[in-house]
Structure 1
Amino acid sequence: MRILENNISAFGFSNEKGGAHTSRTMMLDELRVLLAYVGDPEASKTDYVKVIVENNCLGKRSGKTRILTSRHLIDLYSLNPETTIFRALLYFWQRDIEGQPKLALLCAYARDVILRTCAPFILSFQEGSVIFREALEEHIEKNFPGRFSKATLKSTAQNVNSTFTHAGHIIGKAKKIRSKALPTAGSVSYALFLGYLMGIRGASLFKTEYINLLECSYDKAIELAADASRRGWIVFKRVGDVVEVLFPNLLNSQEMEWVREQNQTTSKIL
């Protein structure tokens, strides 16, 4: 079950109106360059903004563009190591190079309401199907009636398509064709962690919207979670149908307290 937004916003989830995808993609290339340039998991949000704006590590032409770029990256990823989901992103980013596009998608999905709204539409297409931009524009307009101009609808649809192309759900440039994403041990672990922060426990963690975003079956997710556990990234235990997943490497003492409160709230409701 879902915990109310005000209980999970402290972890870094966002349901704010707008979203970077009205003007940018999930900015995978910029994120890769930025994280490689900084190279310090304890770097502060101020440090990230400084290297973008002052050092111009992303090679932007003007000061205004640098500032806008930093704002979009903050919207998508927070860039704050005190934010749980960004710190966890960094943890898996360093350990699962192949899974980086999926890791970026998961974090952006947790923070961008437009991307979350569009994901079910993209995932509804069968592999090999053509995804027309105009159909995605209609989907966005249906979910946000009258909110965007025709030009913004077009650019937003293009940006969303590009994000899912970078993540492996779509192939092609001019013609967008649905393909199947390939999950990794790190991306599945991060998806499980996001579900855990939402208050989901046990076997249900393997059936969340985050696992679904990776197009990962229950059995495959179990297999990859076991692999991640062997690597020491997470703790995965399974006895018959009883499943437990823990994240001792990813939560500080304050966050553990929030999780305990979350467990108590869930138990009372159930």
Structure 2
Amino acid sequence: MSASPVTFTSAGSSAGANYGSGMPSNLQHALLEVHQPPKTGSSSQPGAKMFDITFQFNPKELSLTKNAKWNRESHANAKKSAPPEFKGPDPCKLTLEMFLDATDKMDDKVVKKVEQLFSCCVATEESRQGGKGSPPWVIFKWGSMTGFPAYVSSVTAKYTLFTPGGVPVRAVCTLNLEEISGEQGGQNPTSRALAARNEHVLVAGDTLQSVAYRAYGDAELWREIAEANEIDDPMRLRPGSRLLVPALDEVVAK
């Protein structure tokens, strides 16, 4: 049995609906944060950050799919089928489009961006040297929305415009992301996928302890916030910086 895809749209993404128009300056660009796979074998925390892939235009919709495994026992003499038995959830899957356009300069910017996306489908050099090839981890982010740790299972690039010399200057890329780890208990499968973590903008006087207290009611959980943001020195927090705040279920599960 599979759940129907859940489609998310942004009321502020009118530019995404009309790719040819410029985006208002107050809109935040979506991005894919690309990380090394963790060396420790963790299924919840990515490794070191490699680079960001910023969306030139924000996506006009996000399609989220959640599947579950069910089993029905069949008996030859039974008049009715047995009730379905839950066998576990499948990873969440996120599908989105990225529109690329280089008609302002008619250069190879589109080709380079597509190559960058394709690189996410290949095992990282560091993991291959370690003897076990693993794909980079990616996290989709858009303003205060943070997605689940995932890997890019496929990228399809459709070139739609070319220079007289044959260089692609416009493309639509379809990205399929699949969750790294399974479902964590106590979280709604449709809401957790893109809201398992919140974001906090630091202001003067903020400390990791105060952020942890506001988020969890327990200042002692500040170390989980530091780990999620790779903060080595909790005394040096810059006002205006954004902190990822893991969901309480994620923190308690450790």
TM-score normalised by structure 1 residue count: 0.27
Higher strand share: 2
More helix by percentage: 1
Give the number of the structure whose alpha-carbon radius of gyration is greater. 2
Q: Which has the higher contact order (CA 8 A, sep 6+)?
A: 1
